[in-house]
Chains A and B, each alone.
Chain A
């Protein structure tokens, strides 16, 4: 496979931002697609009963949507070899037509041979909702990087 994004990749390279609108409809779709039917993702009444401020998005929906920053950039999603996040703050999704927009951004934080680590940020309602979100991508060819040169 031909590498697509090697030229010009260096530590600090920023990836194009991806914005995704989370609505109740999207939560219902994700519940069905993922088979995660935890009622905190669709029932206000239930969410409040277990101490949440309201219906929240599936952490895995946020994690999956966030990876689009990386897979859209690299083109071939099979190049992702690891991906980890901490769910630091729930994404509250109001029951209206607009829902809430989650903005995902990423930047290259490490390069080791053909392996590139992308650090991802996810912002909802002005606050970070993911912590330590990192995806490791194998670009298939060694990335020439001047960052390491003295």
Chain B
């Protein structure tokens, strides 16, 4: 059975710890075309939306949950909100945990609201990333 309203509230186990690296920050800011000096040098800061890299890791848990029958290729991002408690720097190790907040089932599609909590290994909150993902269901053959 695919994802339903009843999956709201499901919280997945924390992902493996993620270590922010200078090399990954460089790749990310190069893709954005962003030359802010804060993202370079000895102890670079990660740009605020770098939290998306860590969120994606947590979302993978939804896509790989066989019970939900979701497919990444049928997902379109509807909205995104980040709340930043502190910036991330190269060397930081963080843990992401995803929770399904709400599911709205339409004919042929689902709207999934999910929150990824990003925290230090000690549990200090770093960033909250809330998203709505639209999933289109394959038409029955």
Contacts and interface: CB of A to CB of B under 8 A. Distances in A.
Nearest to B87: A78
Contact of B48 (A33, A67, A72, A85): A67
Which interface class (under 10, 10 to 19, 20 to 34, 35 or more) fits B? Answer: 35 or more
B124 to A, nearest CB: 16
Interface string A33-67: 11111111000001000110000001111011101
Interface stretch (A7-15, A24-32, A105-113, A140-148): A24-32
Contacts of B36: 68, 71-72, 77
A82 B81 contact: yes
Contacts of A36: 52, 56
Most chain B C-beta atoms within 10 Å of own C-beta, residue among A64, A71, A90:
A64
Name the 7 nearest CB pairs between A and B, nearest first.
A59-B77, A84-B81, A64-B49, A78-B87, A29-B31, A33-B27, A30-B31
Interface of A: 20, 26, 29-30, 32-40, 46, 50-51, 58-61, 63-65, 67-68, 71-72, 76-78, 80-87, 90
B128 to A, nearest CB: 9
A63 B84 CA distance: 15
Interface string B17-55: 000000010011011111010110000010111001100
Nearest to A58: B77
Given A46-B73, A77-B38, A86-B79, 11 more contacts: A26-B31, A29-B27, A35-B56, A38-B72, A50-B74, A58-B77, A61-B32, A63-B52, A67-B47, A84-B81, A87-B78
B82 A34 contact: no
Given A26-B33, A29-B31, A34 B56 contact: yes
Given A60-B49, A77-B48, A82 B73 contact: no
Interface of B: 24, 27-28, 30-34, 36, 38-39, 45, 47-49, 52-53, 56-57, 72-84, 86-87, 136
Nearest to A71: B36
Nearest to B73: A39
Contacts of A50: 73-74, 136
B78 A86 contact: yes
Contacts of B49: 60, 63-64, 67, 83
Contacts of B38: 76-78
Contact of A34 (B31, B74, B76): B31
